Amino acid sequence: MTYVADPTVATTYRLAPGGAGADAAAGGLTGGAGGTNALDPSYDGADGDAAGGGGGASSVVTGPGDFLLSVYGGNGGGDLAGPGSGDGINQYPADGELSVDGEDADGGAGAISAEGIVCAPATPSLDWVQGGDRTLTLHLSEGWGGGVPTTGYQYTLDGGTTWTTLTTALRDDSLIGTLTGLTNGTSYTVAVRAVAANGTPSDASEPQTATAHRPIGAPGDVAVTHTPSGGLHITWSASPADGTFPIAGYGVGWDGGQMGGPLCSTEADVLSCDVAASDVPTSGLYWVTVQAADSAGNPGIASERVSANGVPSAVPTKTGDLVRPAGESGPVTSGSAVRITGSGYAPHSTVTLIVYSVPRVLATTVADGDGDIDVTVTLPEDLAAGEHTLVAAGVGADGQAHYLTLPITVSAAPAEAELASTGADVAWPALGGLVALAAGGGLLVAARRRPQA
Q: How far apart are CA 163 and CA 151, in angstroms?
A: 15
Which of 215-219, 265-269, 312-316, 414-418 is least confident? 414-418
**What is the pTM for the complete model shown?**
0.50
Domains of the chain by start residue, with CATH: 1-117 (no CATH), 125-211 (2.60.40.10), 220-307 (2.60.40.10), 320-411 (2.60.40.10)
The mean-pLDDT minimum among 87-96, 109-118, 140-149 falls in 87-96
- Angstrom distance (rounded) from CA 287 to CA 234: 12
CA distance 262 to 363: 27
Range 233-238 average pLDDT: 96
Q: What mean pLDDT is predicted for residues 425-449?
A: 32
Over pLDDT 70: what percentage of the chain?
A: 73
* Gap between the terminal Cα atoms of the chain: 88
Predicted pLDDT at 447: 32
Burial 43-80 (b: 16+ CB within 10 A, else e): bbbbbbbbbbbbbbbbbbbbeeeeeeebbebbbbbbbe
Contacts of 436 (CB under 8 A, 6+ apart): none
The type of residue at 238 is: A
Which pLDDT band, with edges at 50, 70 and 90, does 90 fall under?
very low
Q: Which DSSP string do the residues of 377-432 spell out, in sequence order?
A: EE--TTPPSEEEEEEEEEEBTTSSEEEEEEEEEEEPPPPPPPPPP-S---HHHHHH
Q: Which of 103-107, 338-342, 344-348, 360-364 has the highest mean pLDDT?
A: 338-342
- For the stretch 238-252, pLDDT in tens is 999 999 999 999 999
d(CA 263, CA 281): 9
Instruction: Tell me the per-residue pLDDT of 354-376, one tens digit each, with 9 for 90 and over.
Output: 999 888 888 888 899 999 999 99
